[in-house]
């Protein structure tokens, strides 16, 4: 503490011993050093890089809100479609904000020169974006290296079946490293938005051992089953269908859809044995005739009637046909002209049989619930119309127990207001950055000019005193050198000394002349006493 105090005292002593000019020079240099240090420190902090460029306004608003919520520094440019963040924080912020990208518009992860257009621009975007994603993945702890490979098929105007681009992400991970499911999802979304025309479903992620990082068996799995994955895929596809219907009408940023489905994954097998009668009519099915037997008997006279009355053993005696009964009655009444007739017909029928074995595939829909919220106040008629559209798009069945709920209220600013606010923020940020740069340039210019003026004035100033202009003597009255020689001589000015001083002068002169050594000794003694 004493040394510090002594140092300050020495500094102030030296400062007080400086002249005015020296103080001005030292003060100017100290001020310039402090200001330069602050300026370069501020410039280092303001070393911003592109987080996302060429964004849709909805994505830009969502990402800006995310950064503002997390209190991260950022700037807006290009009318709000470009977001800048500190260079050292870019990789982490890319992973944190990639989930906010919901539109299908391709984004840029770096600044692309505007002079590049067409196919060359797409290739340049793909190259720079994949390189940036590789650097982002390498920054994740546990990932040693990463490589993003994009396969872009050739498109032809004469081909109806166009192949979709695909991407493969290969990660070299440390032993025992397990990637979280949300990280895998973020990487897929980031790669899909960075390559023109690429969809998330066509992005594959694997480690250096060839193991997929997606699904329940991958390193990114979270213990979910195949049933959960199929259910989530169904809900996601249904949600996309609903947004695809309502998005063009009200805007994708003005609709929120939630789908919850109950699927039955029980695998059942049923055996059905059916007997199907055929023939006859609907009220009396008789089946299919396979055989028929017809028996006919006929007798005439009294003897025949008696025989008919007694009957013959067999099946025909048990069947009382109408003709048989009529004949027997006539015989009992003694009609000699009566006769006996008997007829019998037997038909055998066979019914059709059907054996069916039905195996029900797992994943049948048992019940589905759809909730839709619109950023708009709806009338009763509009609600019913939208409900019908949603039911048709989702394939909902009221008889199955499905339910569809539509709500409409103003929960955010209209898109036009959001775009206007975002544009104003971008303009304000650009103006502020411009004024800061201008102020820095003006300050440096003023300091430099002041330094030059000070050094220039010090260079012209003598070491001591001040510059005084001497009057120029006019020698025009002197004509020639002869006239100067003939002029009157200059009088000699004689100084008269004090008599005592004159006596001492003479004594010293005589001493030096007579004995120089003695004079030297006296002079040394005099100087010591001084």
For domain 228-265+362-412, the question of CATH label 3.30.300.20 is answered with yes
Whether pLDDT at 427 is above 70: no
* Alpha carbon distance 476, 88 (integer Å): 80
Distance CA 243, CA 249 (A): 10
Looking up tokens 């309502």 gives 246
pLDDT of residue 347: 75
What's the whole-number mean pLDDT along residues 254-259?
A: 85
pLDDT band for position 430 (cuts 50, 70, 90)? low
Helix axes 20-45, 415-460, angle to 10 degrees: 150
pLDDT digits (tens, 9 = 90+) for 189-204: 888 888 877 888 788 8
Kindly state which CATH superfamily the domain 45-154+163-227+415-428 is placed in: ANL, C-terminal domain (3.30.300.30)
CB atoms inside a 10 Å sphere around CB 55: 26
Does the CA dihedral 412-413-416-421 come out positive or negative?
negative
pLDDT in the model for residue 223: 47
Tens of pLDDT, residues 469-489: 555 555 555 555 566 556 555
pLDDT bracket for residue 181 (50, 70, 90)? confident
Question: What number is the average pLDDT over the span 43-52?
Answer: 71
Question: Which residues on adjacent β-strands are paired with residue 391?
Answer: none
How far is residue 326's CA from residue 349's CA, in Å, rounded to a whole number? 30
> pLDDT-based confidence at 156, cuts 50/70/90?
very low
Predicted confidence (pLDDT) at residue 329 exceeds the cutoff of 80: no
Of 78-82, 252-256, 459-463, the poorest mean pLDDT is in 459-463
Mean pLDDT of 162-173: 78
Q: Which of 57, 77, 12 is nearest to 431 (CA)?
A: 77
**H or E, element range at 358:** strand 352-360
Distance between CA 30 and CA 11 in Å, rounded?
A: 14
Q: What is the pLDDT of residue 292?
A: 77
- pTM score, whole prediction: 0.41
Return the DSSP state at 212: B
- Of 141-155, 368-382, 399-413, 456-470, where does mean pLDDT reach its minimum? 456-470
* Whether pLDDT at 25 is above 70: yes
- Enter the tokens of residue 296: 């006919």
Helix axes 226-250, 380-394, angle to 10 degrees: 140
- Mean of the pLDDT values across residues 361-376? 84
Q: Would you call 374 exposed, middle or buried from its count of C-beta atoms within 10 A (0-12, 13-18, 19+)?
A: buried
Give the Cα separation of 89 and 355 in Å (integer): 69
What are the pLDDT digits (tens) for 478-522?
555 566 556 555 555 555 556 777 777 777 777 777 777 777 777
Query: Higher confidence at residue 28 or residue 327?
Result: 28
Position 119 pLDDT exceeds 70: no
Q: Specify the pLDDT at position 458.
A: 57
**Average model confidence (pLDDT) for the chain?**
72
Confidence class for position 43, pLDDT limits 50, 70, 90: low
pLDDT band of 217, cuts 50, 70, 90: very low
DSSP class of 203: E
Listed in sequence order, the residues at least 6 apart from 214 whose beta carbon sits closer than 8 Å to its beta carbon are 184, 204, 205, 220, 221
* Residue 67 pLDDT greater than 60, yes or no: yes
pLDDT at site 127: 80
CA dist 198 → 50, 151, 167, 201 (Å): 22, 10, 8, 9
């Amino acid at each position: 503490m004493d040394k510090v105090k002594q140092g300050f005292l020495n500094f102030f002593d030296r400062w007080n011993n400086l002249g005015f000019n020296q103080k001005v020079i030292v003060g100017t240099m100290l001020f310039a050093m402090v200001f330069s240090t602050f300026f370069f420190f501020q410039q280092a902090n303001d070393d911003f890089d592109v987080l996302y460029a060429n964004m849709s306004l909805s994505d830009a608003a969502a990402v800006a809100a995310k950064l503002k919520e997390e209190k991260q520094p950022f700037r807006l440019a290009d009318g709000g479609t470009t977001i800048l963040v500190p260079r050292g924080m870019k990789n982490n912020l890319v992973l944190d904000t990639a989930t906010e990208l919901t539109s299908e518009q391709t984004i840029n992860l770096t600044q692309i020169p505007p002079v590049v257009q067409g196919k060359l621009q797409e290739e340049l975007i793909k190259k720079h974006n994949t390189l940036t994603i590789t650097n982002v993945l390498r920054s994740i702890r546990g990932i040693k290296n990463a490589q993003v490979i994009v396969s872009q098929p050739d498109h032809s105007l004469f081909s109806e079946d166009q192949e979709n681009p695909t991407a493969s992400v290969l990660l070299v991970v440390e032993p025992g490293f397990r990637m979280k499911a949300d990280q895998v999802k973020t990487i897929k979304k980031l790669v899909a938005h960075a390559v023109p025309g690429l969809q998330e479903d066509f992005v594959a992620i694997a480690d250096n051992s060839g193991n997929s990082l997606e699904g329940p068996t991958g390193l990114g799995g979270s213990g979910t089953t195949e049933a959960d994955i199929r259910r989530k895929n169904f809900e996601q596809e249904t949600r996309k269908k609903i947004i695809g219907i309502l998005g063009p009408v009200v805007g994708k940023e003005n609709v929120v859809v939630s789908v919850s489905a109950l699927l039955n994954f029980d695998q059942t097998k049923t055996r059905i044995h059916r007997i199907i009668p055929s023939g006859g009519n609907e009220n009396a099915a008789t089946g299919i005739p396979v055989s028929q037997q017809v028996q006919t008997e006929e007798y005439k006279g009294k003897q025949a009637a008696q025989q008919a009355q007694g009957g013959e053993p067999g099946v025909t005696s048990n069947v009382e046909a109408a003709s048989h009964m009529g004949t027997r009655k006539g015989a009992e009444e003694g009609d000699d002209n009566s006769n006996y007739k008997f007829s019998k017909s037997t038909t055998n029928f066979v019914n059709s049989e059907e054996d069916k074995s039905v195996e029900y595939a797992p994943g049948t829909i048992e019940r589905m619930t759809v909730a839709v919220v619109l950023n708009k106040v709806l009338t009763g008629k509009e609600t019913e119309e939208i409900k019908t559209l949603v039911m048709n798009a989702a394939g909902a069945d009221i008889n199955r127990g499905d339910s569809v709920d539509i709500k409409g209220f103003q929960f955010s600013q209209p898109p036009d207001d959001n775009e206007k606010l975002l544009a104003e923020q971008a303009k304000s940020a650009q103006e502020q950055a411009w004024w800061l740069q201008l102020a820095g340039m003006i300050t440096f210019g003023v300091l430099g000019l002041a330094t030059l003026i000070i050094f220039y004035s010090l260079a012209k100033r003598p070491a001591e005193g001040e510059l005084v202009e001497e009057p120029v003597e006019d020698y025009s009255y002197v004509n020639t050198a002869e006239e100067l020689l003939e002029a009157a001589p200059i009088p000699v000015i004689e100084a008269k000394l004090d008599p005592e001083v004159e006596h001492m002068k003479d004594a010293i002169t005589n001493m030096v002349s007579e004995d120089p050594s003695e004079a030297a000794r006296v002079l040394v003694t005099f100087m010591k006493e001084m």
